[in-house]
Amino acid sequence: MPELEPKKGIQETTEVIIALNELSIAILEVLLDGLQIIDDVRTLYEKVWGDPRVKQILTSAIEGIKAVPGEISDVDLSEECSWLSCRPGIYPR
């Protein structure tokens, strides 16, 4: 009988999803007044890396991003439900 590999989990993938959500919110907030490329890039940089909470979220996601393909390759139904249950917490404020 073949040995079953342990589940990889979805922690890193969840962190990447949350980080992408935070980055998307920051981009949309910066672009609300129209596109001014130089000002928007500077404001976005300050908004993302100047906010300790967002910086920590993005740093964690970047550090674990290489684990995402492996985690996704063995996702099961309970893990998918876990992603759905965390969605209300990542909707824009």
Q: Is residue 30 in some structural domain?
A: yes
Instruction: Give me the domain span that covers residue 29.
Output: 11-87
- Predicted confidence pLDDT, tens digits, the chain (93 residues): 455 566 778 889 889 988 998 899 899 999 988 888 889 999 999 988 899 999 999 999 999 999 999 888 888 888 888 777 765 555 555
Q: Is residue 19 in some structural domain?
A: yes
The pTM assigned to this predicted structure is: 0.78
Q: Is residue 43 in some structural domain?
A: yes
Q: Is residue 60 in some structural domain?
A: yes
Number of domains in the chain: 1
Q: Is residue 42 in some structural domain?
A: yes
Contact 18, 57 (CB under 8 A): yes
At residue 51, the pLDDT reads 92
Q: Which two tokens stand for residue 82?
A: 């876990």
Cβ neighbours for 20, distance < 8 A, ≥ 6 positions apart: 61
At residue 52, the pLDDT reads 94
Q: Is residue 92 in some structural domain?
A: no
Cβ neighbours for 9, distance < 8 A, ≥ 6 positions apart: 71, 79
At residue 5, the pLDDT reads 66
Give the 3-state secondary structure of residue 9. Answer: coil
